[in-house]
Amino acid sequence: MGMSFRSYKRRHGVGRSGFTLIEVMIASVLLAVGVTALLAAASRCLAVMRVAKQYQEAQWALHMGELENPVLPTEEYEDWEVSGETYNDFNYSREVIEPEGDESDGLFMLRSRATWSDKGRESYEEVVRLVFVPEEAEFL
């Protein structure tokens, strides 16, 4: 009894090399999903890095504004207010707020703010601090 060529091919796998169409399609879909996820993650990472750089530059603008406009004891606390200063596309301003009440004599709240525009959206970084100037302080 001889074995036919057809049964020999089935038994020994001769002539079955390569991938079927469905295997290639499944591999392509998995590859596309993986590449899409990788590109989305990289895009989000770049956006976070851009925002972090803007906040770092805003901190620099706040620092420069405080260096160029120091808070010195004066008789007029309105002299501490600053507006319209610009440092590398960041606008610096300082607002002086005198808290209400009798117990807050000589206590001032200073709000320093660096603002910038990012893709049509206004953003800011803000530092708030309290300054106490006693009534018997010597002024410049």
Count CA within 13 A, CB hemisphere, residue 23: 4
Overall domain count for the chain: 1
Gap between the Cα atoms of 29 and 35, Å rounded: 10
Strand-strand pairing, 107-118 and 90-97: antiparallel
Gap between the Cα atoms of 137 and 115, Å rounded: 33
The one-letter code for the residue type at 103 is E
In a domain, 3, yes or no: no
Given a cut of 50, the residues of the chain with pLDDT beneath it are none
pTM of the full predicted structure? 0.68
In a domain, 57, yes or no: yes
Kindly report the number of other CB atoms within 10 A of residue 22's CB atom.
8
Q: What is the DSSP string of 56-121?
A: HHHHHHHHHHHHHS-----S-GGGG-EEEEEETTEEEEEEEEPPSSGGGTTEEEEEEEEEEEETTE
| Residue given tokens 């796998």 in the structure block | 13
In a domain, 137, yes or no: no
In a domain, 73, yes or no: yes
Kindly report the number of other CB atoms within 10 A of residue 112's CB atom.
21
Gap between the Cα atoms of 113 and 62, Å rounded: 7
In a domain, 22, yes or no: yes
pLDDT for position 13: 58
Domain range for residue 55?
Answer: 16-132
pLDDT for position 78: 81
| Residue given tokens 């004066």 in the structure block | 74
In a domain, 99, yes or no: yes
In a domain, 1, yes or no: no
In a domain, 28, yes or no: yes
In the three-class reduction of DSSP (H, G, I as helix; E, B as strand; rest coil), residue 138 is classed as coil
